[in-house]
């Protein structure tokens, strides 16, 4: 895969890029049943990108029927594991070959810097799909210790028809985190991308079809969350929904399940992740790089964004100087420029929400040290400066609510216990990081933090082999990535035999 592209090559590729605009149902491109469309907007310049099918309940029904048919026929669900693996690996090859195209789709529609989509999102997407593909013929079921006359197998079977609903901040990557294990386990899927970023998901389905996935196994239905997303979640013939998105919509999904067929619901939700820096942290320059990256990577539109910096009081000033220097060095602007590290926010509405939080921070008494404003208005895009607030109290809105933008709040502590208390004093529990050279403290604090992923002396979400998901209001019932993700797309069955 090309990892370094210059701006001219990118422009040339964009000129040739064809954005897929139809749903993908039962192996075919398909307009919405009523012909309606919706139009994702390029957040870097406010211009429309393409008219995309805005699907209806009827389209959802059709996709679910196709998925059910494929599942019952067994063309995928009962395919020999080694054959399923072969098709998945062909799919992986195609995704890898089309990585630049998929990266451009996500950068254009989500405003993500191209160096991130090409350098991080797509390699991670390929690695995730490949890891799950390779797992298909390496899993064993179990027998139970039931004595000689009652052999008993405990087997895992695919669940059936699985709805996948994903957000706009990592469009192709979030789809892959769910598709990889769901398809590898033998399910049929109906994927709903976010309204702003449907292109890479539709393209993935076309590539899977090209790789030999049978019709009906992988369907993509673009459209409004309140129509398409809700119809998938309320459908009586969907066995499971895996969702990544906001905590607010996650709550609704539980209601939909309760009021329909009690389908399994897996929720990956928001966060307000702490970064704790102790005075004995190794190399404050390096820590500052990690802190800036955790807070501002992907414009802070990142579920595991390290939006609360909790720093030991006696190193605060030294660290802050370095963080500010780091952030000032980040080029802001056109996401298609390979040098850019901060692009626009996803929509104008979201930008105003972030600006409102910045106003609230000042009104509640925090001190704005850096940024705080909308910038680059002449582009027609929705850019906000990287913003840092000092003297934040943990009761303030900027410390408690997920802003989902480039806003970092600074708080201080004196003792380890205070740091842990502050870090855990949140409704969320997705990720946390801590910096210290004391290995015993690292272990103690990592175990005390209530978060799904804790990184020590770095900012990391782990890799494809490690589970990712949240405690508290950051998630429910499951994990993305790793063997744990695979298992959640299966049902456990006990087969008890009486030997005659």
Active site residues: 268, 303
Indicate the SS3 state at residue 30.
Answer: strand
Binding of ligand NAP at residue 245 (CB under 6 A)?
Answer: yes
**Which range touches ligand NAP (CB under 6 A), out of 74-82, 263-271, 328-336, 408-416?**
263-271
Query: Mapped to the 3 state alphabet, what secondary structure does 126-160 carry?
Result: HHHHHHHHHHCCCCCCEECCCCCCCCEEEEEEECC
**Which range touches ligand NAP (CB under 6 A), out of 140-148, 211-219, 264-272, 377-385?**
264-272
Binding of ligand NAP at residue 246 (CB under 6 A)?
Answer: yes
Residue 45 C-beta: closest distance to ligand NAP, Å: 20
Contact yes or no for 390/373 (Cβ under 8 A) = no
Total Cβ atoms within 10 A of residue 9: 13
Q: Nearer Cβ to ligand NAP, position 5 or 295? A: 295
Q: Nearer Cβ to ligand NAP, position 174 or 291? A: 174
Tokens of 311: 């720093």
Q: Could you say which DSSP state residue 32 is in? A: -
Say how many CA atoms lie within 13 Å of 317 toward its Cβ: 1
Distance CA 209, CA 43 (A): 30
Q: Nearer Cβ to ligand NAP, position 26 or 224? A: 224
Tokens of 108: 């254009």
Distance CA 245, CA 201 (A): 16
Residue 374 C-beta: closest distance to ligand NAP, Å: 20
Per rule CB under 6 A, count of chain residues that contact ligand NAP: 31
- Give the CA radius of gyration of the chain: 23
Binding of ligand NAP at residue 271 (CB under 6 A)?
Answer: yes
- Contacting residue, 244, 257, 312, 426, with ligand NAP by CB under 6 A: 244
- Contacting residue, 49, 185, 194, 310, with ligand NAP by CB under 6 A: 194
Task: Find residue 409's DSSP bridge partners.
Answer: 308, 389
Indicate the SS3 state at residue 227.
Answer: helix
Q: Nearer Cβ to ligand NAP, position 229 or 338? A: 229
Residue 335 C-beta: closest distance to ligand NAP, Å: 18
Residue 250 C-beta: closest distance to ligand NAP, Å: 7
Residue 154-173 contact track with ligand NAP, rule CB under 6 A, x = bound: -----------xxxxxx---
Indicate the SS3 state at residue 407.
Answer: strand
Residue 81 C-beta: closest distance to ligand NAP, Å: 28
Tokens of 400: 């408690």
Binding of ligand NAP at residue 382 (CB under 6 A)?
Answer: no
Binding of ligand NAP at residue 451 (CB under 6 A)?
Answer: no
Q: Nearer Cβ to ligand NAP, position 7 or 246? A: 246
Indicate the SS3 state at residue 441.
Answer: helix
Residues 6 or more apart whose Cβ sits within 8 Å of residue 433: 273, 274, 275, 276, 290, 294, 306, 454, 455, 456, 458, 459, 460
Binding of ligand NAP at residue 40 (CB under 6 A)?
Answer: no
How many residues in total does the chain contain? 500
Q: Nearer Cβ to ligand NAP, position 231 or 392? A: 231
Residue 409, Cα to own-chain centre: how many angstroms? Answer: 23
Residue 255 C-beta: closest distance to ligand NAP, Å: 10
Distance CA 320, CA 288 (A): 8
Residue 353 C-beta: closest distance to ligand NAP, Å: 10
Residues at the contact surface with ligand NAP, assessed by CB under 6 A: 165-170, 174, 192, 194-195, 224-226, 229-230, 233, 244-246, 249, 252, 268-271, 303, 402, 404, 430, 470, 475
């Amino acid at each position: 895969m090309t990892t370094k592209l210059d701006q001219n090559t990118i422009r040339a590729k964009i000129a040739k890029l064809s954005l897929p605009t139809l749903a993908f149902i039962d192996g075919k491109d398909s307009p919405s049943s009523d012909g309606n469309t919706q139009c994702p907007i390029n957040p870097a310049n406010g211009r429309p990108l393409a008219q995309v099918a805005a699907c209806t309940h009827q389209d959802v029904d059709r996709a679910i029927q196709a998925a059910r048919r494929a599942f019952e026929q067994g063309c995928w669900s009962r395919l020999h594991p080694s054959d399923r693996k072969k098709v998945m690996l062909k799919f992986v090859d195609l995704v890898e070959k089309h990585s630049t195209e998929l990266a451009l789709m996500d950068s254009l529609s989500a405003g993500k810097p191209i160096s991130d989509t090409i350098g991080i999102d797509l390699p991670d997407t390929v690695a995730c799909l490949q890891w799950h593909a390779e797992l298909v013929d390496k899993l064993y079921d179990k027998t139970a210790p039931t004595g000689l006359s009652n052999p008993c197998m405990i087997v895992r079977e695919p669940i059936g028809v699985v709805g996948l609903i994903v957000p706009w901040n990592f469009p192709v990557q979030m789809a892959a985190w769910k598709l990889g294990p769901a398809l590898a386990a033998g399910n049929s899927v109906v994927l709903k991308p976010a309204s702003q970023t449907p292109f890479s998901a539709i393209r993935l389905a076309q590539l899977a079809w090209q790789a030999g996935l049978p019709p009906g196994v992988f369907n993509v239905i673009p459209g409004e969350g309140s129509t398409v997303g809700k119809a998938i979640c309320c459908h009586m013939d969907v066995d499971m929904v895996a969702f990544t998105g906001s905590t607010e919509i996650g709550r609704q999904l539980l209601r939909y399940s309760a009021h329909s067929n009690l389908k399994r619901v897996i929720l990956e939700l928001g966060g307000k992740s702490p970064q704790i820096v102790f005075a004995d942290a190794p190399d404050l320059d390096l820590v500052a790089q990690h802190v800036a990256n955790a807070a501002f990577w992907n414009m802070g539109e990142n579920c595991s964004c390290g939006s609360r910096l909790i720093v030991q009081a006696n190193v605060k000033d030294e660290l802050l100087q370095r963080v500010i220097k780091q952030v000032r060095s980040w080029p802001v602007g056109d996401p298609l420029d390979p040098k850019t590290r901060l692009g626009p926010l996803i929509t104008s509405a979201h930008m105003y929400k972030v600006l409102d939080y910045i106003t609230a921070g000042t009104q509640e008494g925090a001190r704005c040290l850096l940024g705080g404003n909308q910038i680059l208005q002449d582009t027609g895009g929705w850019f906000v400066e990287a913003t840092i607030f000092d003297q934040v109290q943990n009761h303030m809105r900027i410390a408690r609510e997920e802003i989902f933008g480039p806003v970092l709040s600074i708080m201080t502590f004196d003792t380890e216990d205070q740091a842990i208390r502050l870090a855990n004093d949140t409704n969320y529990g997705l990720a946390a990081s801590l910096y210290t050279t004391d290995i015993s403290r690292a272990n103690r604090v990592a175990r005390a933090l209530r978060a799904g992923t804790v990184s020590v002396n770095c900012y990391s979400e782990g890799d494809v082999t490690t589970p990712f998901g949240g405690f508290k209001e950051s998630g429910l019932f499951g994990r993305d990535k790793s063997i744990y993700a695979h298992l959640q797309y299966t049902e456990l069955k006990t087969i008890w035999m009486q030997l005659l």
